[in-house]
Amino acid sequence: MDGKNFVKMTDEKFDVIMNDATYPGTTGSSALYTYDHFLECRNHLNPGGVLSSWLPLDLRPEDFRMIVRTFQEVMPHSSLWMANNCLNKHSVLLGSLSPLRIDFQRVKKLVERPDIAADLAEINIHSVYDFLDCFVVDEDGLRRIAEGVPLNTDDKPFLEFGAAIKRDVDASFAAVLSDVVKHHSPVLLRVVNTGSTDTESAGVKAALPMSSVPSWPWSTRTRTS
């Protein structure tokens, strides 16, 4: 509850707020996945700020969808990201109050900065293409995934009880991945400033095709910088 209480009490505004929650249902962390908490976080963002939230992929599918629905209710322009160099069980929800636009040239410079490159190398991300390949589902896909599920709120904490239900972890993981694969979204639709020349821009579009064919771990397609 320290993070939840802090954001209630502080007068500060932030460019980035990371909701670094653990598994819901353990040590009170379900309280970090409520509509009320996400709203408090949004109210403490500077203009143009972003909110992220860690989201396990091996939850019960209905609990995964509930978190997505609750987050997106507060942050309408949301996307799901996954460091997909390996088949892990963690993802990140990223939300903003304006549509996601990824400046390719700016991101390329950032991921090549030595200190950032060193951090990304630890999770096998070595280029702007590796980084953008972590974009998995856009806001429209997330809406379809979460359609029809209730909100998780402070006064109706469904997640607190749902997360406590014993589940088949492997089956839950497979079901959530099935949802993700079904609604996988091409990142190119969100990318701008791909190059100053037609040749450079065409190269980016070839590497980031505007298709819904999933990339690793969903397929064996590879990236080159």
114-152 pLDDT per residue, tens? 999 999 998 889 999 999 999 999 999 999 999 999 999
d(CA 216, CA 209): 14
CB 89 within 8 A of CB 65: no
pTM of this structure: 0.88
CB atoms within 10 A of CB 59: 25
3-state secondary structure of 97: coil
Q: How confident is the model at residue 49 (pLDDT cuts 50, 70, 90)?
A: very high
pLDDT per position as a tens digit, 62-105: 999 999 999 999 999 999 999 866 667 889 999 999 999 999 99
Q: Please, where are the H alpha helices in the chain?
A: 2-9, 35-43, 61-74, 104-111, 114-121, 128-132, 139-145, 158-162, 169-182, 198-207
Mean residue pLDDT of the chain comes to 87
Q: Of 164, 195, 144, nearest to 27 (Cα)?
A: 164
The rounded Cα 55 to chain-centroid distance in angstroms is: 8
Query: What are the phi and psi torsion angles at 46 (to 5°)?
Result: -70, 160
Confidence of residue 219 (pLDDT cuts 50, 70, 90): very low
Q: What is the pLDDT of residues 17-32, one digit of tens each?
A: 999 887 887 666 888 9
Distance CA 201, CA 54 (A): 33
Quickly state the pLDDT bin for 3 (edges 50, 70, 90): confident
Band (216; pLDDT cuts 50, 70, 90): very low
- Provide CB contacts within 8 A for 24, sequence distance 6+: 30, 32, 33, 56, 59, 63, 67, 159, 160, 163
Indicate the SS3 state at residue 95. strand
Range with top average pLDDT, 20-34, 162-176, 202-216 = 162-176
Q: What's the distance, CA 122 to chain centroid?
A: 19
Among 156, 132, 3, which Cα is nearest to 66's?
156
All domains of the chain in start order, with CATH: 2-100+134-187 (3.40.50.150)
Which amino acid belongs to residue 56?
Answer: P
pLDDT at 187: 92
pLDDT digits (tens, 9 = 90+) for 155-164: 999 998 888 8
Contact 82, 64 (CB under 8 A): no
